Structure 1
Amino acid sequence: MLALSRILARRLYHPSALEHQLAHSFAPLTYGPGSTQFKVLEHALNKHVPSYGFNERALVASLNDLDLGPSLLSVIGASNSPSFLNASPAVLELIKFHLVTKRYALTKELDPARTSSPAEPPALETLFHRRLELNKPIAPHLTQLLSSLSIPGEFLVQTALPELHRLSDDMVYFSKEPDANDFAWYSKRIALSCAFVSSELFMAQDRSANYADTFEFAAEKLHNVSKLGQYYNNTEEYMWYTLLMSVNLAKSQLTRS
């Protein structure tokens, strides 16, 4: 009890759930839709990222639109550590905001906690394609996004991989996909994570009309996940190895592009 009181007594210099109770927060974000931080990031993601990409230029343009000072940049990303390639904490927060809010948008009408009349559970393929559809406005900047996500470091371990796992977990949980409680639980989600990373990488290079080739590629990946799920019983360690290899492959491909 004494240890907890000391933690609460110490002023934290970034938004933290230890300091106050947040209503309607988008976990793991530590701020809700009514906060200035949420409004700036949402405005930047919707209006300026499609044009400028995931960088400080998009954030500054958003701050100017909302009549806020550029000094808020240091507050927006205060909870993040800069990457060793000098990606600013504010830009990392913008990337995190994109990952989290798109995940919530995917299942908004399916979550009983967020709607009084949840929709009928869709097929896993429907949710997978719907999540890729949400990438269309920022598709020209997916190379930049995936490159930032795959850089080894704190952001990869604490944000990128956990969010990828949460997305896969949500897609299985809110779909009609049959579930399991043993190692197959891990295998299915990690295989789905690998399929999503591969599909985003393909989308980053896709020049077909309305990204038709991407969705064909994604359908084939999902078919492979389903087929492998019927014949293999991989251990959790092997699937994590596969995921990390996919992330490294994405990084190497983006380096060449």
Structure 2
Amino acid sequence: MSKRMMLNRCLNAGLKTTTRLPQLSKLSLIRFYHPISTEYDNSEALLEPLEYKMDSVQSKILSHCIKEKVPHYGFTEKALVSSINDLGYDSTMLSIIGSPNSPSIFHSSPAVMELLKYNLVTKRYNLITAELREGLVNKQDIPSLETLLIQRLKMDKQLGPKALKSLMGQLSIPSQLLMEVALPELFRLSDDIIYFSKEKDHTDMAWYTKRLGLSLTYVTSKLFMTQDKSVDYEDTIEFAKWKLNKVMNLGDYYNNVEEYAWYTVMTSFNLIKSQISKY
């Protein structure tokens, strides 16, 4: 009797089937306690939590937009429309790009929300090389925590001052995007940076405090970056190094919470005001 016939008999009899799923498909649904190589299998095809492959039309438009249009127009619908026109697609692509998101009061365009998500997710994946993910590098070639943090900050240099303010301003607004995309991506980034660096890892309370310290350092450095007028963001790089050393190496996890909170609230408030004034 064929497997198909046996399955049909079970269904007709109201019995539960125990069809096995491939092991990889099970693993792909799980976010492990620590990053492991199976999370990144076939990562060029689909970068979770994005819902489309990297060779899709959506990805081509978003990638082109970030490289060519965002530095001029910021993270706006105008930037997306310009990319769609340049690539020769129909204007209806704007609604397709934004289809996974629900509009909110301050993010009037779901497509812009997807552009912000695409920027965060793809740069997090691109930060970690394939050799690092597969453990194919020598111990002496494993990057330091500081190196990976600085590399991630430098990834946004090409965006320019206008786009950086647009990015941080929109991510600072209390919204579904902040809770469901920005914060989870921030914690995934911190987790990956620590795991794939030379930094000693932990499995107790230090696991949380270390990732919190790195997350605070990264966000504070990005906010500093929006105000930085130095050549090639040199002041931001020095600030990030100083802040990382203070928080991670000196064990100053908790003493900086009040300082960080006040700095973040004031800077975010100014960025939010600039965003609200546009609507």
* TM-score of the two chains, using structure 1 as the length reference: 0.81
Q: Distance in 2 between matches of 1:243 and 1:202?
A: 12
Instruction: Choose from 188, 194, 209 the match for 1:187.
Output: 209
CA distance in 2, matches of 1:249, 1:224: 21
Report the structure number with the largest CA radius of gyration: 2
User: Which position in structure 2 is the counterpart of 1:89?
Assistant: 110
> Which residue of structure 2 aligns with residue 54 of structure 1?
75
Q: Distance in 1 between matches of 2:259 and 2:207?
A: 15
The aligned amino acid for 2:106 is L
Partner amino acid, structure 2, of 1:178: K
2:236 to 211, 214, 229: 214
How far apart, CA to CA, are the structure 1 residues paired with 2:242 and 2:112? 33
Give 1:248's match in structure 2, choosing from 253, 259, 265.
265
Q: Which runs of 5+ in 2 are unaligned?
A: 1-10, 15-28, 30-41, 275-279
For residue 197 of structure 2, what is the aligned residue in structure 1? 175
Counterpart residue type for residue 31 of structure 1: Y
**1:76: which partner in 2?**
97
Given that 1:112 and 1:118 are in contact with CA atoms closer than 8 Å, whether structure 2 keeps it comes out as: no
Match of residue 198 from structure 1: 220
2:178 is aligned to 156
Structure 1: distance between partners of 2:155 and 2:269: 25
The CA distance in 1 between the partners of 2:236 and 2:87, in whole Å, is 36
Q: What RMSD in Å do the two structures reach over aligned CA positions?
A: 2.8
Tell me if structure 1 keeps the 8 A contact 2:102–2:110.
yes
Greater CA drift, 210-219 or 81-90: 81-90
Once the two structures are TM-superposed, the CA of residue 153 in structure 1 deviates from its matched residue by: 1.8
The C-alpha deviation readout for 1:145-183, integer Å capped at 9, x for no partner, is: 111111112111100000000111111011000111111
Residue 220 of structure 2 contacts residue 260 of structure 2 at CA under 8 Å; is this kept in 1? no
Q: Give the alignment's TM-score, normalised by structure 2.
A: 0.75
1:145 corresponds, among 167, 178, 199, to 167
* Counterparts of 1:23 and 1:208, CA distance in 2: 35
Q: CA deviation at 1:227?
A: 3.4
Show the counterpart of 1:127.
148
Would you say the 8 A contact 2:99–2:111 is kept in 1? Answer: yes
The 1:69/1:162 distance shift into structure 2, 3 A limit, reads same
Q: Return the alpha-carbon distance in structure 2 between the equivalents of residues 134 and 22 of structure 1.
A: 19
The equivalent residue for 1:102 is 123
1:117/1:181 CA distance change after superposition, 3 Å? closer
Give the count of matched residue pairs: 232
Separation in structure 2 between the aligned mates of residue 187 and residue 154 of structure 1, nearest angstrom: 25
Query: Deviations along 1:102-144, whole A, 9 cap, x unmatched?
Result: 111110244434xx84473100000000001101011312111
